Structure 1
Amino acid sequence: MIHPLEPLVVRHTHRLPAPRGAAGQGGVAARQFDAVLMSVGFKLSAELLEHLAALAEETVIDTAVRTLDTVRTMAGDHVRHNTYFIDFPAHVPDTHAFWRQCVVDALGRGVDVTRLGDGAVDLLSLPAYGRYQHTYAEMLAAHRELIATAGDRLTVLHLGGAPEDEVADLYLALAGSSTPLGDAGLLDLAVLAGHCVDGPRPPTIPVRENRAVVNRARIEAGAAPLLDTVTDALRLACALSDGDVTLVQPTRFRSPSRRVRRLLLAGLDAVVSANPAKLADVSAHREAFKRLGERLHAHEYAARWPHAADVFAVARGEKQARSLDSRVEERLAAGDVLGAARLLESAPGRLFRALDRLLRACATDAERDALADAATRLAPEVSGRVLLSVREHLLNRARGSGSRRVFVNRLGRAWATDDSRSPLPEDARVRLMAALDAETSRRLPDPGHLLIDPDVLDVALPLSGRATAAGLGVLPRGSLSPVDGELLRFFVHWKQTKEPTDFDLSALMLDSGHETVGWLSYTALTGVEGEHSGDITDAPDGASEFINLRLGAVRGTYIVPQVNIFSGEGFEEVDESFFGFMLRDGDQLGRPFEPRTVRMKSELRGPGRVALPLVFIRGDDGTWRAKWLHVYLRGTPRRNRVEGNRVSVATLVRGFVERDHLTVRHLTGLMADRAAATTRWDGRSVPDGPVTYIGLERPDGLHPDSCVVTPENLRDLIPG
């Protein structure tokens, strides 16, 4: 029997739940399955291939069909990637010559091309512009077969356990994650929570957004929610209304059933009854609580649940409950820094987030020493994610004047500004970093034999799932990864929902001083560096654009791919949109899109009208590396173009390039101090006994009792 959530397991873990069926001679079908998988950049592990070979042929074929659908979607091969210029990247015309030809074609058809008031030609009015001039099949016929090389991507699929066990394990891993999940992760958790609501529960659910998703599943199954703050109830109400459980965006609350109203009010009453001080949390979301109170008809139940009634009285301003923040601000305004710190000791996480400000407000070394003492004493009570976030912050506070601060909100919108803060005292900064490292090291498990893939060391720690887009080969914001290949090809695909939508793929080239060298876009189809595949302006059935770059010919130090929304629906409104890049050897032929050459494919789901997935950086030795951004710029409502956002993009890129992110290297360094042995994996042999393996891909042949950490579960490295 096929488990309906099998695709989720494959996407999140690169494990195929062990197919079940009658024994048989499935070896030939299994090898054929493996060969087809390799054509799209995937491969069966030796153990999985052996398992399939022992099953009946029809079971193997059924497994192959549904697994191929899943992995092709992971790589972006589930859609037809056509190009405007049929034999791209060959024979791409000069931009202005192409435009002139479009005008000539329009005049030949009797089209009035001077529709604009000033007599200029509107490209969008030209019949030959922005629309495919050939079918997908015709485009395929114009290209030769892909020349396979050893450098093509092969993502290994490993054998999983029983389907129900794999689904339950994935649910426990996501629900119990010590770091927030991204939007796609929360959606997957919601599906898993509904399926696993009657099964095992994670020991703790430290992330409040995850708790809201799990609580919704519990309520829909008739169970009581798990609440320990008033904000938990608010997040749950948002989840029940399909709203934003992060509370960043306002939610239009639905009118719940009587049973749900009673569960929410009873939960609020129990929380406040146990700790009336928690009423202070209401003020942070006063308006949302007021709207929720109206939907819950709280006044009707005031006698039964008086403490819940107090929540909404505070929201309406009828009852006072001073927040911790207001009391802290009062102490700071009076110059009582240590008094403010003592108040924050009741919320150690907030104290750590305020350390920079408190240190700058200290008037004497004695005050700074007392603050450092308090932080060191309270470190064991702070989550590992906060410890590491503060450690990264302090790492970047060593920079002097002239540096840039980069801000990225929870939605992924980014901006940069000059850093005007006064420097931190170096002795206090170093002392605090040492204390954070000591506490982090204490929490890390004994790894035994630590086996490390060197390519993972510069991957940024996933301190928030919102710093990573959903997709294949995607790394957290700030990660650095090598780029090996002669040809770099970007692609974007989108499919509009209702109105005509025009996404424009562009690549901006910057020099070492972040000044513009040039760009490729629909306004510059060719250049020294490469070619653009042509502008598509309407995507009712989906559309794709490509940029082909010869890395050896690139002028400058930085390549910044970007997706601009020229018109129509936003990234979160279209039916589908994703970006990615491929790497090829210089003489490697093939179609414009070849899934086995795809190194990264990420979903484009964010605010703003300009997406910046990553930046490519040339080193002093001429080699290239990618630094992952996953950010969005606000842009303008219409007509966003690379020419119009060059300055803002360059400013943001400079801020990201200058910033140091805490990486896997930091944690493996702390773990190595207690490891029985530490080995850098050579890509070939693996130890015979159990290991703690940390790398980009799980190698074949690891001992079954090994602990394996790859980008798919990198969050497991973050101590609780």
Structure 2
Amino acid sequence: MAHRLESLVIRHTHRLPSPVGSAGQGALAARQFDAALTSVGFKLSAALLERLSGLSEGAVVHTARRTLRTVSEMVGDHVRHNAYFIDFPANVPDTEEFWMRCVAEALGDEKVRENVQAQLMRGSLDLLSLPAYGRYQHTYEEMLAAQDELIASAGDRITVLHLGGDLDEELTGLYLALAGSTTPLGEDDLRDLKVLAERCALGPQPEAIPVRENRAVVNEARIGVGADLLLDTVTDVLRLACALSGGDVTLEEPTRFRALSRPLRRALLAGLDAVIAANPAKLADVHAHREPFKRLGERLHPHEYPRWPHAAEVFAVARGEKEARSFDSRVAKLLDASDVLGAVKLLESAPGKLFRALDHLLRAAAGQEERDAVVAAAVRVAPDVSGRVVLSVREHLHNRERESAEPRIFVNRRGRAWVAPDVRPPVPAADRDRLIAALDAELRRRLPAPGRLLLDPDVLDVALPLSGRATAAGLGVLPRGSVSAVDGEQLRFFVYWKEAGRTTDYDLSALLLHSDYSTDCWLSYTSLTAVGGEHSGDITEAPDGASEFISLSLDRIRGSFIVPQVDIYAGEGFDEVEESFFGYMLRDAEQRGRPFEPRTVRMKSELRGVGRVALPLVFRRADDGRWHAKWLHLYLRGISSANRVEENQISVSKVVRALVEREQLTVWYLVGLMSGDTTAVELWDGEPVPDEPVMYIGLERPEGLHPDSRVITLENLRDLIPD
């Protein structure tokens, strides 16, 4: 368990909890540990190397084994990445030539010759019936022997591991950061929060837990140790019930409620009763989740507990036996009657809902007087709206300013994306501009005045993480909409998957698009080579895990966009397999090396969406010829089987265009608001290191900063979002 908790800290913070052990002469072992880390793209900070050097050799070796296992998993080097073509990317054959070779080998095999001949006579052939197709024809060790050694390059990734506090201190700090996050967490972070909450439920707590899903996870831990629950809506109780049943606390997916013990039933009913007793109007919140409440009532048996009559009212509303008009229905009724001013007055009591309805209210307003009232109401309630919602509306208004024929893109909480024509009339420019100015002023008021602000230039185009669900778990992963430079000559994608129970075939493909988003060509198992690229070969089953690769020479690519994608051809979905992840590497032309080299990995992200086609990111060539990545983290529905790049090229192109053309608020936007008379902003390359406390924002934590400095990196970028 200790290793699991230590691993959790390393993954989230890139800090190694202060190693423990007897004192000794561990300097040699520490240097060997540092060298081993370098092979997977990591290194020890000076402080951590010094700490390890003062421990015994045995303590250093013990720490090294655990840490190397963790960082190998972070970068995807904990599994064996074989390739179908043994010397990939060299000597990849033409697709038809390869298929004919597989047919020739099959015709020479007595076991399958008759079946193959019969197929050929019918004029069609199932590639999977060919023994040489879709299955590794060599061992992992044979593949390694056929590859040249990687030549080290100054451009290889180096991720520094820093010295942390003791394990309890690190776990408490991480728990407070995740539980108190102002933005929703992704699925993996929610699972980690659950582990931390079970350990930290009786310790220090965040001042507030504004995200409801986080509150449900914390409440599950608190109910287990008899602590008071954090409940102020009936939906808080429903989320807690889902957590206790092992279900979805986001309420996106239905939960099958378990039979609960009497103490748990009493706690849930008492919580419901207290919420309604304090504010009977909250009965209206039941309507948003009537069916789950009805099913929960069947498990809680409220009729057995007459001392909590208000809890019984909740289920009466869910069954339709008691009337409780919902807030949304009251607003809708006013808007249906064209009473915009009445709707605005009502919505002022729910500032977040007012902000989310601003676009609709401005379009529904009958004239300038009503639009003025909408804007004035928004300005009045702005201080009571969460920073995340203010930023979301600010981003929305910015994109509404860019009137064009571009379609709208919709993305749900699980990353499922679709596009539709934008049929909305425009928002009047003057009203939009007034709102933008007001929101900027409100955000500027909330942001700190850090005094001296140091910036890593590479972080400026990172999109603000308004939701953890817009970022996949992994290493070097940026929020959806972020833009990052691609510095290298060889770009290589990889996907790995391991099936859980059924034969599963994932296909790595790359769609190459022209500047107008029309198709140039693609790389896939049906097109193993194209101008500037090679595919490593099709693997059609993965009982022991399988990998596919695509290698591209960027200076030879004709198009303007490269869209890597992972298509599910057959078998288990991304959320069903035992493991699946995607990533990309960058190399110089002369580096060579194995198909998978961990220190060249720039990004590795988990694949866990609900669609059948994954779109992790898109690469775009700028006018100056340099390439940049824009992060997507999207999934398309696809079809149940046989998804292929050539069949979904139109839908992929539409989604990519919609997101590429959309502009996200970035770190640079917030920095612009923070800069002023009291803040000195510097683009900083690491030298010289200031000797006073500063605020630093960058992709990774630099060494040597004053201990009282505030450091914002990818791991805690959510802390930039004001309350």
Distance in 2, Cα, partners of 1:427 & 1:633: 37
Give the match for residue 709 of structure 1.
712
Give the match for residue 468 of structure 2.
465
1:233 to 227, 234, 237: 237
Structure 2 stretches of 5 or more lacking a match? none
Give the match for residue 597 of structure 2.
594
**What are the equivalent positions in structure 2 for 1:502-541 lying under 5 Å apart?**
502-541=505-544
Q: Is the 8 A contact 2:216 2:239 kept in 1?
A: yes
Distance in 2, Cα, partners of 1:244 & 1:275: 26
Question: In the alignment, does 2:116 pair up with 1:113?
Answer: yes
In the TM superposition, what is the alpha-carbon distance from 1:119 to its structure 2 partner?
3.6
Q: Which amino acid aligns with 2:488?
A: G
Give the match for residue 393 of structure 1.
396
Question: In the alignment, does 2:55 pair up with 1:55?
Answer: yes
**What are the equivalent positions in structure 2 for 1:375-454 lying under 5 Å apart?**
375-454=378-457
In the TM superposition, what is the alpha-carbon distance from 1:2 to its structure 2 partner?
5.0
Give the match for residue 250 of structure 1.
254
**What are the equivalent positions in structure 2 for 1:685-704 lying under 5 Å apart?**
685-704=688-707
Question: In the alignment, does 2:169 pair up with 1:165?
Answer: yes
Distance in 2, Cα, partners of 1:313 & 1:118: 65
Q: Is the 8 A contact 1:446 1:674 kept in 2?
A: no
Distance in 2, Cα, partners of 1:276 & 1:2: 46
In the TM superposition, what is the alpha-carbon distance from 1:3 to its structure 2 partner?
5.7
In the TM superposition, what is the alpha-carbon distance from 1:19 to its structure 2 partner?
0.7
Give the match for residue 72 of structure 2.
72
Distance in 1, Cα, partners of 2:637 & 2:331: 34
Distance 1:324 1:674, change over 3 A: farther
Distance in 1, Cα, partners of 2:361 & 2:596: 53
Give the match for residue 136 of structure 2.
132
Question: In the alignment, does 2:7 pair up with 1:34?
Answer: no
Give the match for residue 275 of structure 1.
279
Question: In the alignment, does 2:147 pair up with 1:143?
Answer: yes
In the TM superposition, what is the alpha-carbon distance from 1:134 to its structure 2 partner?
0.4
Give the match for residue 476 of structure 1.
479
Distance in 2, Cα, partners of 1:337 & 1:595: 58
Q: Which amino acid aligns with 1:587?
A: E
Secondary structure of the 1:350 match is helix
Count of equivalent residues: 719
Q: What RMSD over aligned residues (CA atoms) do the two structures have, in Å?
A: 1.1
In the TM superposition, what is the alpha-carbon distance from 1:505 to its structure 2 partner?
0.0
Give the match for residue 98 of structure 2.
98
Q: Is the 8 A contact 1:19 1:52 kept in 2?
A: yes
Secondary structure of the 2:241 match is helix
Give the match for residue 604 of structure 1.
607
Q: Is the 8 A contact 1:337 1:362 kept in 2?
A: yes
Distance 1:674 1:27, change over 3 A: farther
Distance in 2, Cα, partners of 1:675 & 1:50: 37
Structure 1 stretches of 5 or more lacking a match? none
Distance in 1, Cα, partners of 2:566 & 2:687: 39
In the TM superposition, what is the alpha-carbon distance from 1:675 to its structure 2 partner?
4.2
Question: In the alignment, does 2:195 pair up with 1:191?
Answer: yes
Distance in 2, Cα, partners of 1:224 & 1:690: 39
Give the match for residue 350 of structure 1.
353
In the TM superposition, what is the alpha-carbon distance from 1:118 to its structure 2 partner?
4.3
In the TM superposition, what is the alpha-carbon distance from 1:219 to its structure 2 partner?
1.3
Q: Is the 8 A contact 1:504 1:563 kept in 2?
A: yes
Q: Which amino acid aligns with 1:458?
A: D
In the TM superposition, what is the alpha-carbon distance from 1:589 to its structure 2 partner?
1.3
Secondary structure of the 2:529 match is coil
Q: Is the 8 A contact 1:114 1:120 kept in 2?
A: no
Give the match for residue 581 of structure 1.
584
2:204 to 200, 207, 214: 200
In the TM superposition, what is the alpha-carbon distance from 1:418 to its structure 2 partner?
1.8
The runs of at least 4 consecutive aligned structure 1 residues that moved more than 6 Å come to none
Q: Which amino acid aligns with 1:319?
A: K
Q: Is the 8 A contact 1:709 1:716 kept in 2?
A: yes
Q: Deviations over 1:532-571 (max 9, x none)?
A: 0000000000000000000011111000000000000000
In the TM superposition, what is the alpha-carbon distance from 1:396 to its structure 2 partner?
0.2
Secondary structure of the 1:113 match is helix
Distance in 2, Cα, partners of 1:51 & 1:668: 36
Q: Is the 8 A contact 2:181 2:718 kept in 1?
A: yes
Q: Is the 8 A contact 2:202 2:227 kept in 1?
A: no
Give the match for residue 370 of structure 1.
373
The percent of aligned pairs where both chains have the same amino acid is 71
**What are the equivalent positions in structure 2 for 1:541-552 lying under 5 Å apart?**
541-552=544-555
Distance 1:403 1:242, change over 3 A: same
2:557 to 541, 548, 554: 554
Q: Is the 8 A contact 1:114 1:121 kept in 2?
A: no
Distance 1:675 1:610, change over 3 A: farther
Distance in 1, Cα, partners of 2:688 & 2:38: 22
Q: Is the 8 A contact 2:107 2:117 kept in 1?
A: no
Question: In the alignment, does 2:122 pair up with 1:122?
Answer: no
Question: In the alignment, does 2:9 pair up with 1:5?
Answer: no
Distance in 2, Cα, partners of 1:324 & 1:2: 48
Q: Is the 8 A contact 1:529 1:549 kept in 2?
A: yes
Q: Which amino acid aligns with 1:46?
A: A
Q: Deviations over 1:9-54 (max 9, x none)?
A: 0000001111122221111111111111011000111111111111
Q: Which amino acid aligns with 2:172?
A: A
In the TM superposition, what is the alpha-carbon distance from 1:683 to its structure 2 partner?
3.5
Q: Is the 8 A contact 2:3 2:66 kept in 1?
A: no
In the TM superposition, what is the alpha-carbon distance from 1:114 to its structure 2 partner?
5.2
In the TM superposition, what is the alpha-carbon distance from 1:225 to its structure 2 partner?
2.0
Question: In the alignment, does 2:455 pair up with 1:489?
Answer: no
Q: Deviations over 1:120-153 (max 9, x none)?
A: 1100111000000000000000111110000000
Q: Deviations over 1:417-437 (max 9, x none)?
A: 221111111111111111111
In the TM superposition, what is the alpha-carbon distance from 1:588 to its structure 2 partner?
0.7
Distance 1:649 1:115, change over 3 A: farther
The two structures have a TM-score, normalised by structure 2, of 0.98
